[in-house]
């Protein structure tokens, strides 16, 4: 699966996706992540119209029509980026947006069936609404809160979706949502002491009785006492 991320901060995307499990998955060619600098898609003729500085040449935002605080990311760079990536192919386009459709594990499973996906990272007051219409894009939200930019949501979407790609996690059993598990996990030592208080691993986990262990984990995961 190929992920294409259009952003003002491609280095943020690369720093995360080139490390650990996602980095290994890319080396094994199970998936790929490519980040694109939004400023690279400003039309040269438009930038040169005012003939000015390098700063204006790379400008991708402007004031909102109708007034209001903050700046809005312009439509043209995003559309040009998506068109260049797609090269005539039909590729699903997502826009990170606090007001978008809620991103869930089920959404990730469906997204993992796509061969390619383009993620457009919002910032400031958002992206010109015409981008969604032109590209037939879907707005997606990773939670009921506001972030300073769309890079973290994009990484969340990539990470969660990548887990659903066969081979990325090594073993299917590594998918926590597919196995019986409590959110509470333990490892050695069996007894841990801190400030004169003793904390022990629950006895059932030491019993070797797998049926009882699964029952205990299920109760803890559902919020019931074990």
- Write out pLDDT tens, residues 27-70: 999 999 999 999 999 976 554 555 555 545 678 999 999 988 89
Length of the chain (residues): 226
Q: Which helix (H) or strand (E) holds 191?
A: strand 191-194
Residues 43 and 84 in one domain: yes
Q: Is residue 89, in this structure, part of any structural domain at all? A: yes
Q: Residue 159 has what pLDDT?
A: 98
- Write out pLDDT tens, residues 3-24: 999 999 999 999 999 999 999 9
Instruction: Provide the β-strand partners of residue 199.
Output: 192
What is the rounded CA–CA span in Å between residue 111 and residue 103?
A: 10
What is the rounded CA–CA span in Å between residue 39 and residue 23?
A: 26
Contacts 24+ apart (CB under 8 A), 179-185: 180/214, 180/217, 180/218, 180/221, 181/217, 181/221, 182/216, 182/217, 182/218, 182/219, 182/220, 182/221, 183/220, 183/221, 184/220
Residues 113 and 26 in one domain: yes
pLDDT band of residue 168 (cuts 50, 70, 90) is: very high
66 annotated ligand binder: no
Q: Is residue 135, in this structure, part of any structural domain at all? A: yes
Report the pLDDT averaged over residues 79-88. Answer: 97
What is the rounded CA–CA span in Å between residue 226 and residue 221?
A: 10
Domain end (from 172, 194, 209): 172
Q: Residue 170 has what pLDDT?
A: 78
Residues 134 and 212 in one domain: no
Q: Is residue 226, in this structure, part of any structural domain at all? A: no
CB 104 within 8 A of CB 112: no
Residues 133 and 27 in one domain: yes
Domain of 23, in residue numbers:
2-172
Q: Dihedral sign, CA of 200, 206, 207, 211? A: positive
pLDDT > 80? residue 216: no
Q: Residue 43 has what pLDDT?
A: 77
Which among 110, 124, 24 is positioned nearest to 70, based on CA atoms? 124
- In the chain, how many domains are there? 2
pLDDT band of residue 208 (cuts 50, 70, 90) is: confident
pLDDT > 70? residue 178: no
pLDDT > 70? residue 185: yes
CATH number, domain of 26, equals 3.40.1280.10
Residues 131 and 196 in one domain: no
Q: Residue 176 has what pLDDT?
A: 60
Q: Would you say the pTM of this structure is higher than 0.75?
A: yes
Query: Mean pLDDT of all residues in the chain?
Result: 89
pLDDT band of residue 218 (cuts 50, 70, 90) is: confident
Residues 29 and 121 in one domain: yes
Residues 187 and 210 in one domain: yes
């Amino acid at each position: 699966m190929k992920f294409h991320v259009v952003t003002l901060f491609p280095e943020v995307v690369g720093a995360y996706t080139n490390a650990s499990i996602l980095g290994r998955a890319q080396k094994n060619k199970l998936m790929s992540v490519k980040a694109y600098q939004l400023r690279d898609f400003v039309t040269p003729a438009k930038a040169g119209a005012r003939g000015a500085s390098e700063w204006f040449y790379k400008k991708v935002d402007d004031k909102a029509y109708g007034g209001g605080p903050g700046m809005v990311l312009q439509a043209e760079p995003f559309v040009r980026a998506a068109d260049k990536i797609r090269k005539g192919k039909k590729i699903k386009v997502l826009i990170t947006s606090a007001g978008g459709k809620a991103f869930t594990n089920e959404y990730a499973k469906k997204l993992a069936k796509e061969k390619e996906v383009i993620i457009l990272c919002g910032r400031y007051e958002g992206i010109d609404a015409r981008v969604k219409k032109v590209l037939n894009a879907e707005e997606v939200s990773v939670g009921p809160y506001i972030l300073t930019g769309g890079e973290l949501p994009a990484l969340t979407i990539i990470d969660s979706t990548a887990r659903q790609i066969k081979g990325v996690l090594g073993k299917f059993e590594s998918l926590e949502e597919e196995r019986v598990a409590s959110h509470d996990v333990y490892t050695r030592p069996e007894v841990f002491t801190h400030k004169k208080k003793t904390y022990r691993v629950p006895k059932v986990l030491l019993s070797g009785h797998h049926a009882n262990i699964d029952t205990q984990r299920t109760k803890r995961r559902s919020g019931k006492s074990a």
